[in-house]
Structure 1
Amino acid sequence: MKVAIAGAGLIGHTIAQMLRETGDYEVAAFDRDAHALDALAAAGIPTRRVDSADAAALRAALQGFDVLVNALPYYLAVNVAAAAKGAGVHYFDLTEDVRATHAIRSLADSAEHVFMPQCGLAPGFIGLAAHALANRFTGIRDVKMRVGALPQFPTNALKYNLTWSVDGLINEYCQPCEAIRDGRTQWVQPLEGLEHFSLDGVEYEAFNTSGGLGTLCETLAGRVGALDYKSVRYPGHRDLMQFLLEDLRLADDRDTLKSMLRRAVPSTGQDVVLVFITVTGMRDGQLVQEVFTRKVFAGTVCGMPMSAIQITTAGAMCAVLDLFREKKLPQAGFVRQEQVPLDAFLANRFGRLYDGAPLDVRVAA
């Protein structure tokens, strides 16, 4: 299978390395940043300088490929998906942006190829795992989904390090959030709904952020009393972000906020990804609760040191693509994350990374 990856940043680079390592994919990377492409070319991955904002140029570059994996910022998603449709290739992305997903769904109407957005950690894995748990109940009272990508060793006032896209981080802190309350889908405000919990002796906070539910509100509509998604951070983070975004009004000046964060908050490869899902409901006439947790730490994959967010985000994309290649997923139209069976995902060679297993590329999906 010939795969074009749009975006040669951290996650795009990781996806390219993982797929290439299997020998089952021919991979090429597209980006307008020559420096980013040089890093992939040095690893032996074919590259092409393409401005993904130019739909015509991207569409021409996609000739001869089977799949486009979009690892670019959320605001380019619709343009890139339209180019994929024009080129007649399957489309997968990592976007958390709700409006972009709705637009991509419209593009997928009557499409002969697959359009599958939100293939990362959250949205992505968190949704398919929560859906699998919910299906074990005859009546669902509530579904709570919590995900955090956190430094193992927080040292600044935010208790946070940059581990993924700054654009995506700010966007999820600023956009309205879908939720189900009292059986009705509604919008709630980001940074609200603050709660505290502990896991393995560590204290955390969680609050509303946008996009993590993917399409789950629609899928579970009429079946669940309450459903929500919150990002997990160390205590105190939410209050400082609220000060920056609301009191200093930087929600209206995202470029300044992005510049500040990049200048002052370092990145780290020593991170941990926390996944925490609880589902409460009826089974066999009893009210019961199931809990699903994962902690994924930074480690070495494909001979490269990788952060936990690299492993989980790129691993989820590669697992879904592997399942698609094996024809274990629909082969045309819009595909939701919750159409991915959890057991099949966790049994996949890339999905096993969520259990801390090494990537064995010789094992077929």
Structure 2
Amino acid sequence: MKVALLGAGHIGQTIARLLQGSGDYQVTVMDKSAAALAKLEPVGVKTLVVDTEDAKALFAALKGQETVINALPYHLAITVAHVALEAGCNYFDLTEDVAATKEIKRIAEGAKTAFMPQCGLAPGFIGIVAHHLAKSFDSLHDVKMRVGALPAFPTNALKYNLTWSVDGLINEYCHPCESIHDGETIAALPLEGLEHFSLDGTEYEAFNTSGGLGTLCETLAGRVRNLDYKTVRYPGHRDLMMMLLHDLQLKSDQETLKNIMRKSMPATMQDVVLVFVTVSGMRGGSLVQEVFARKIFADRDEAAPLSAIQITTAAGICAAVDLFREGKLPRAGFIRQEQVELPAFLANRFGKAYQQSRQVESIG
């Protein structure tokens, strides 16, 4: 399969290595940064310098490609999806942006090619897990989805290091959060709904953030009493972000906040990803609960280290593309994450990154 991979950042480079290494994909990585593309020379993929914000230049570059994998910043998702449609390409991305996903769904109506956004960790894998668990119930009560990408060794007051896109991080902290409460779809406030829990003896907090549910609100509407998604952090992080965004009013000056974080908060490759889903409801006349809890750790290989967020995000989108190539997903139109079968995902050569993680047996 001929694949155009847009974006040569940390995640894009990991995707390129996985697909190229499989031997089943002809990958061309496109980015406006020649320096970023140069880092892929040892991988052996084709590279092309393209202004990815210029729709005409992008269309010219995508002609002749079968599939587009969009690993660019979330604000380019709609533009790239439109260009993919025009170029006759299948489209996959990692966006967590709710508005972008709704527009991509509209773009996909009647399309002869496939459009599958939100193929990362959350939204993405977390929705596949939640839907899989939910299917085993006669009636659903509560579906709770919790995900955190955290530094393994937090040292600052925020107890956080940059592990992925600052743009995506601030976006999910600032936009309304879809959820279902008492059977009604609502828009909850970001950073609200604070809760605490322990996992493997470590204390965490969780709070509302935007986008993590993907399309599950729509899929489970009328079938579940309560459905929500929250981001996991170490205790104290939420209060400091509330102070920055609201008390200091940086929500209305997000570029300043992003610049501060980029300059003052070190990135880390030493991270851990938590995936924690609980589903309760009726089965066989009894009220029961199912739990899926995993920790995925960074790969500390000295020659090619990978952060946990790189591993999980790249595995998510590579598995989606691979399942599509194998004919296990619809060939055209809009594809939801929950249309992926969890067993098929975990059996996939890329999805195995989650299978090989450490399952958490007990939760306090």
**Pairwise same-fold verdict (TM > 0.5):** yes
Q: Is the 8 A contact 2:20 2:43 kept in 1?
A: no
What SS does the corresponding residue of 1:299 show, helix, strand or coil? coil
> For residues 14 and 280 of structure 2, what CA distance do their matches in structure 1 show?
36
Q: Is the 8 A contact 1:17 1:302 kept in 2?
A: no
Match for residue 271 of structure 2?
271
How high is the TM-score relative to the length of structure 2?
0.97
Aligned length: 357
Match for residue 304 of structure 2?
304
Matches within 5 A, 1:2-81: 2-81=2-81
Matches within 5 A, 1:279-294: 279-294=279-294
Matches within 5 A, 1:9-158: 9-158=9-158
Match for residue 179 of structure 1?
179
What do the CA deviations read for 1:77-119 (whole angstroms, capped 9, x no partner)?
0000111001000000000000000011111010000000000
Q: Is the 8 A contact 1:96 1:122 kept in 2?
A: yes
What letter corresponds to residue 164 of structure 2 in structure 1? W
Q: Is the 8 A contact 1:93 1:116 kept in 2?
A: yes
Q: 4+ residue runs of structure 1 moved beyond 6 angstroms?
A: none
What letter corresponds to residue 151 of structure 1 in structure 2? P
Match for residue 346 of structure 1?
346
What letter corresponds to residue 203 of structure 1 in structure 2? E
Shift of 1:356: 2.5
What SS does the corresponding residue of 2:129 show, helix, strand or coil? helix
Q: 1:301 to 1:5 in 2, by over 3 A?
A: farther
How high is the TM-score relative to the length of structure 1?
0.96
> For residues 153 and 347 of structure 2, what CA distance do their matches in structure 1 show?
31
Shift of 1:219: 0.1
> For residues 300 and 86 of structure 2, what CA distance do their matches in structure 1 show?
38
What SS does the corresponding residue of 1:266 show, helix, strand or coil? coil
Q: Is the 8 A contact 1:180 1:186 kept in 2?
A: yes
> For residues 31 and 41 of structure 2, what CA distance do their matches in structure 1 show?
12
Match for residue 231 of structure 2?
231
Match for residue 161 of structure 2?
161
What SS does the corresponding residue of 1:28 show, helix, strand or coil? strand
Give me the identity figure in percent.
66
> For residues 69 and 41 of structure 1, what CA distance do their matches in structure 2 show?
19
What letter corresponds to residue 44 of structure 1 in structure 2? G
Match for residue 313 of structure 1?
313
Q: Is the 8 A contact 1:18 1:302 kept in 2?
A: no
Shift of 1:355: 2.3
Q: Is the 8 A contact 2:167 2:258 kept in 1?
A: yes
What letter corresponds to residue 76 of structure 1 in structure 2? L
What letter corresponds to residue 26 of structure 2 in structure 1? E
> For residues 74 and 116 of structure 2, what CA distance do their matches in structure 1 show?
14
What do the CA deviations read for 1:222-275 (whole angstroms, capped 9, x no partner)?
000000000000000000001000011111111100100011111111100000
Shift of 1:44: 2.1
Shift of 1:42: 4.1
Shift of 1:43: 3.0
| Structure 1 gap ranges (5+) | 358-365
> For residues 82 and 222 of structure 1, what CA distance do their matches in structure 2 show?
32
What RMSD, in angstroms, separates the aligned Cα atoms of the two structures? 1.1
Shift of 1:176: 0.3
